[in-house]
Structure 1
Amino acid sequence: MEKALHMKRIELGVCYYPEHWPEELWEDDFKRMKDLGFSIIRMAEFAWTIFEPEEGRFSFDFFDSAINLAHQHGLKVVLGTPTATPPAWLTHRYPEVLNVSQAGTPYQHGMRRHYNYNSPVYRELSARITRKMAEHYKDHPAVIGWQIDNELNCEINVFYSEADHQAFRTWLQQKYGTLDQLNQAWGAVFWNQTYTDWEQVHLTRPTVSDSPNPHQALDEKRFISDSAISFAALQAEILRETAPNQWVTTNGLFGHLDSHKMTDELLDFFAYDSYPNFSTIYPDKGDKPLLDRKWSWNLSAVRSISPTFAVFEQQSGPGGWVNRMEQPAPKPGQMRLWTYQSIAHGADMVLYFRWRTANIGTEIYWHGINDYHNKPNRRVEEARKIGKELNSIGERLAESRYKAQAAIVRDYDNEWDGELDHWHGPLTQESTMAWVKAFQYQHIPADALYIRPDMKAEELLKYKLLVYPHAAILTQGTAALLSEYVQKGGRLILGARTGYKNEHGHCNMAPFPGPVSEICGVSVEDFTRVGPYEEAPGIRLEGSEGGRISAGQFNEVLKAESGQAEILAVYEGSYFSGKPALVKNPYGEGFAYYYGGVFNLQLAEELLKESGLSKPVDWVKVPETVELAVREHQNGSTFVFLLNFDHSPQEIKVEKEAKNLLNGKIVSGSMTMNPFDVLILE
């Protein structure tokens, strides 16, 4: 069953922490929220001690007052279960609940997310506070839904407490059954790592050269994901049973967590926390960095989980923690731009973080809509403009879906294996960003598509083009799925190191690219990294006007095995000059492309031309600094979002009459978009 957010209109709101403020501020806060057009607030995700000040003694008076007052002012409430920050009484009395570093050092009280998912007592106490809250608020007219915990696997996504080691053994016993099967899966015969008793088996521990068994490390990440999902399930089951009329979700998108599986099994939809300015201080590598526009790719990953979703934390101010002020303030218009960036990509609920900047604690430099002084500022006025616009158009946009004709393919096993394996992990990051930029700058809306165990070819065939940059781990099942996609007319682009590992991370004893060799019509004859004092070779596409393209720091020398295979490019400037670098192979009704290197922006754009893919809205001419996104409704309505991410005005041309949804005017011809401006054309 599809997991999506179903709203009658785009809802706008804000995160609010009544425990941080004197009660005499609450009513004025709620009045001003309504004045800005907000309808939903999120609260309580860090307030366990207020609900349970002593073990076994519960109190709801404080939040009853806040929620009742919010209800009086017409605000709906999303409640967070408060398990991301255990009380001091809990960690003091039960130190076994604390997470532990790989070296064995417990993380102490004083921050957040310092617990582990597998401690029996923490699971018991988390279940109890969840049940008590659900029983108390299940019929409250203001409470519409629940957020489980907060940002699972944020801050830290590895766990090494004694409870985790024990749970890992149980997980392995269920997965493999016997030690012989485990030893085989982990290749334990290598360097005499063979286990003869289950008590000898642990999560990875410090090793010489910090180089653990790679197959053990891959299973560790699978286990951590299952542990987080199990902890979320503990709460989700209680909420479903106790408060069946309120929806259940959680927020995040963090490492070592299969968010697709969690959502499919537990949630009504997925929620995300969107902070585009992170990409301005940690920009993507390579040519022409996307900066805050890169967040559109993050939102595409969220959309692969829920086609319509919620943003529970939308950036509204400069970011930083008490020991660092690291992000610039949003420029005038950027908060509005980022809001519509989220909506363009499928968000039907957007809650800003936060209502007022905290004047206490770790996040005193993580600014919200209001400053400490609580007086009017430009961000408040910008929020007012957004609220007014969405009050007018929110019903039109709600439940329309992002429309893409291409997708970049991903999977969790390769993401997790690639953290340790520097053959394919960094290659995938580099190639993925090259393709994200190519789609963005060529104005071709693209999805993220995660390979799932039960996926059918029909799910792939809605895309004209799939790019799966470096699928090192490639099972026979996935290969068969890709084969069917190409046979039925799809176009598939693959890159170096494809298909050389099985599901355990063992290297296949077969010519690369292994299970997809027949689709691609090639084998890998040789391969090399470019040495530190060597110049990377180049390639030149046949018939291309783009000139020489760098082949990057890793190269596979290809051999065409199919009589129909077409060599599109050969290497230049190396001992393998003249050898194939890029091959196109017809297969059934479609084509497969195999490139023996790491993709860059120039090559990705050339391959888009070669594949025949073009932007879906040919009546709008926009510069590459403006993102184009499309949402379509089942009733046939189409909404074209134009988002100017540039600091300067940009000229666009609308070659037919269209309605500007944001002001109701009919537009056509040449237009100027102001810096960080937004247009929605219908």
Structure 2
Amino acid sequence: MKTVRMPLPGISLGCDYNPEQWSPDVWREDAALMRQAGVDLVAVNIFGWSNLEPSPGEYRFDDLDEVVELMHAHGIRVNLGTGTSSPPPWLTTLHPEVLPVTADGTVRFPGGRQAWCPSSPVFRKRALDLVERVAQRYGGHPAVALWHVSNELGCHNALCYCETSAEAFRTWLRGRYREIETLNEAWGTSFWSQRYSDWSEIRVPRLALSLRNPAQLVDFQRFSSDELLDHYRAEAAILRRSSEKPVTTNFMVTAHIRNLDYWSWAPEMDVIANDHYLDHRLGDPVAELSFAADLTRGLAGGRPWMLMEQAAGAVNWQPHNLTKAPGEMIRNSLTHVARGADSICFFQWRASAQGAEKFHSAMLPHAGTDTVAWREVLKLSDILDRIAEVAGTEVESEAALLFSWESWWSAEGEARPSQAVTYLDQVHASHRALRSLGVTTDVIAPGTDLSRYKLVVVPGLYMVSDADAQAIADYVAGGGHVVVTFFSGIVDERDRIRLGGYPGAFRDVLGVLAEEFAPLLPGVTVELSDGSAGSLWTERLRVTTATGIAHYVDGPLPGVPAITRNRHGEGVAWYVATATDMTGLLREAATTAGIGSRETADDVEVVRRGAYLFVINHGAEPVEYPATGEDLVTGKHSDGSVTVEGGGVAVIREERK
């Protein structure tokens, strides 16, 4: 396992800084204020290309030199960007062929960001020329603590449908399948007369008059993720030739970005870094924050990671950009720390006066330092210093949840049993229920060793390989406990249906067989015999070796099992064949698996990280929780229980017997 290389000791506080937007007088003011705020790490040169190379081959480093030296003089370390995230106007003017093309064949113009095709050799060469210059100039500078490749790779341009991408896609496919007939078999091209006789006939899957080939769409997603990963590798290789400092890029583990398979990216990072913003388009954005933090920790192999970006208050890109209430930013930040983050950074330091993000919040708002936002920053900085000893410890988890980007891509194809059923909804529902029970959960990839976990939850794992399915069956047979939800095990990695009845790969371990799906219309519910309700989905299910523990009372399948339990070998497997509140079932599964309860009030989450117990109260009323030890936040000692005020956080160094 790769060694994590955190850029700084302790729990560092950082920010994204864009000095090119401000005058040198402001730089000096900012450096002094950063020092006051306890900022340890500053990301610069993220969008610096047009400043560093204002015309082809003409490089100007004077401004960046001054900023780096200014940070160094104030004892602030630098997270140095390669500057390649968006091309300068001269590049897209000289070489319009680098511009990305969307699925409808439209060329997307510059004027925003990431206006480049990931497969473009012209963009790659120009970008690497810049990286070489930056690496050589700053590779040995003592201020540099971390290298930041590009920025949020694939946020806007992950899927490009231009002719350059088409040729790169064909090359990728030849490497994957070797023979054209192997590809035909994998894609099922006998359907709709799609059989290929030569690689040159294959195109990128632009919009068609009808439904497109689902196996081709999944492979295009895989290819696109690999293309951007290859670009990351190319930049990282240059940096590593000139510097021994760790190299990373900022992931986007969040509800609205899905195009990169970060399980394949994670091994290439010296430290895992993630950007996360509360998404108020979701029903429970705080629960999603906890899920994203757990998934980021999974990508880090359970070891510490960085929160590279978050918002101090409101963002600017949602339909309704809600600000954070007093204390909310601190709770958000410490939730990330509780779930494994050893660095808390913000976009950005000073709120922009111009540009598309001028209404995005910052550590230093437009109104200056006499503000609630600034005082919250100072308070957070003080808390991070108080809890610095937490750094390097690992989160304790007895449960795991399997998550797959490939299942996300494939399960939400163009033609599926119900457009109302989405992969992430099932994932979030399962994780949210575990969180409400106080069960800390590792979010891991299919195929991960499961032996350390008492309970494994498998939500909506539509696409699964034979080997990964067998690993789950072996885990249960060996005494493990697993909960599987509907639309799981349906296809193999080629998106080919597993014949013989649903849930395909999991029929034997679950002891059930479904003859057909029976989705429900949105808004329609069915009553279950245990008093709960189901929605969105039912199945014509029968038990083989399982026992039905809840049945449909009404709806299209009265009397048919909706939730089952099966003894398989030494373990137990549950199946949930409808969308329902998972809390009761997961409480039963956790208890059966021997996981002790930490259940508390709905608005309170409890996480143990090493010897430290985090109790985060998102509610308005004080809560009491069993704990003995010192609260690092307040310095008070608790003997038997700790009281956490409404909106507060306790970090207890536990005295365990």
Normalised by the shorter chain, which TM-score bucket?
Answer: over 0.9
Cα distance in structure 2, aligned partners of 1:117 and 1:388: 42
Cα distance in structure 1, aligned partners of 2:625 and 2:405: 41
Cα distance in structure 1, aligned partners of 2:4 and 2:177: 35
Contact preservation (8 Å) 1:557, 1:581: no
Cα distance in structure 1, aligned partners of 2:440 and 2:394: 12
Contact preservation (8 Å) 1:3, 1:305: no
Cα distance in structure 1, aligned partners of 2:187 and 2:459: 26
Contact preservation (8 Å) 2:436, 2:600: no
Matched ranges for 1:227-306 at <5 A:
227-243=227-243, 245-253=244-252, 254-264=257-267, 266-276=268-278, 278=279, 281-284=280-283, 290-306=284-300
Q: Which amino acid aligns with 1:378?
A: V
Match of 1:595 in 2: 576
Residue from 435, 442, 446 that aligns with 1:447: 442
Q: How far off is 1:670 after superposition?
A: 6.8
Deviations 1:64-100 (A, max 9, x none): 0010011001000001111111011111001111111
Match of 1:309 in 2: 305
Q: How far off is 1:25 after superposition?
A: 1.6
State the aligned residue count: 644
Contact preservation (8 Å) 2:515, 2:539: yes
Match of 1:339 in 2: 333
Cα distance in structure 1, aligned partners of 2:24 and 2:515: 72
Cα distance in structure 2, aligned partners of 1:325 and 1:58: 40
SS of equivalent to 1:529: coil
SS of equivalent to 2:321: coil
Q: How far off is 1:344 after superposition?
A: 0.8
Distance verdict in 2 for CA 1:502–1:338, change over 3 Å: same
Contact preservation (8 Å) 1:418, 1:424: no
Contact preservation (8 Å) 2:519, 2:537: yes
SS of equivalent to 1:105: coil
SS of equivalent to 1:572: coil
Distance verdict in 2 for CA 1:309–1:435, change over 3 Å: same
Deviations 1:613-648 (A, max 9, x none): 699776x7741211111101xxxxx111111222x2
Cα distance in structure 2, aligned partners of 1:662 and 1:346: 17
Cα distance in structure 2, aligned partners of 1:384 and 1:371: 13
Contact preservation (8 Å) 1:539, 1:571: yes
Residue from 548, 556, 559 that aligns with 1:567: 548
Unaligned runs of 5+ in 1: 285-289, 542-547, 633-637
Distance verdict in 2 for CA 1:623–1:31, change over 3 Å: same
SS of equivalent to 2:453: coil
Q: Which amino acid aligns with 2:113?
A: R
Cα distance in structure 2, aligned partners of 1:407 and 1:440: 12
Deviations 1:429-450 (A, max 9, x none): 3322221221121111112112
Cα distance in structure 2, aligned partners of 1:145 and 1:325: 34
- TM-score, L = length of structure 2: 0.94
Contact preservation (8 Å) 2:454, 2:594: no
Match of 1:160 in 2: 161
Distance verdict in 2 for CA 1:535–1:146, change over 3 Å: closer
Residue from 629, 633, 640 that aligns with 1:658: 629
SS of equivalent to 1:263: helix
Cα distance in structure 1, aligned partners of 2:532 and 2:479: 29
Q: How far off is 1:174 after superposition?
A: 1.2
Match of 1:635 in 2: none
Match of 1:503 in 2: 493
Q: How far off is 1:353 after superposition?
A: 1.7
Residue from 583, 586, 603 that aligns with 1:625: 603
Residue from 333, 339, 345 that aligns with 1:351: 345
Cα distance in structure 1, aligned partners of 2:509 and 2:3: 33
Contact preservation (8 Å) 1:466, 1:491: yes
Distance verdict in 2 for CA 1:616–1:142, change over 3 Å: farther
Match of 1:545 in 2: none
Match of 1:287 in 2: none
Contact preservation (8 Å) 2:290, 2:339: yes
Q: How far off is 1:551 after superposition?
A: 2.5
Deviations 1:577-612 (A, max 9, x none): 2222222111222111122223x22x4323422441
Q: How far off is 1:417 after superposition?
A: 0.6
Q: Which amino acid aligns with 1:305?
A: L
Contact preservation (8 Å) 2:510, 2:574: yes
Match of 1:461 in 2: 451
Deviations 1:187-227 (A, max 9, x none): 11111112223222111122124x21111111110111111
Q: How far off is 1:495 after superposition?
A: 2.0
- TM-score, L = length of structure 1: 0.90
Match of 1:486 in 2: 476
SS of equivalent to 1:627: strand
Q: Note the aligned Cα RMSD (angstroms).
A: 2.1
Contact preservation (8 Å) 1:337, 1:677: yes
SS of equivalent to 2:153: coil
Match of 1:680 in 2: 651
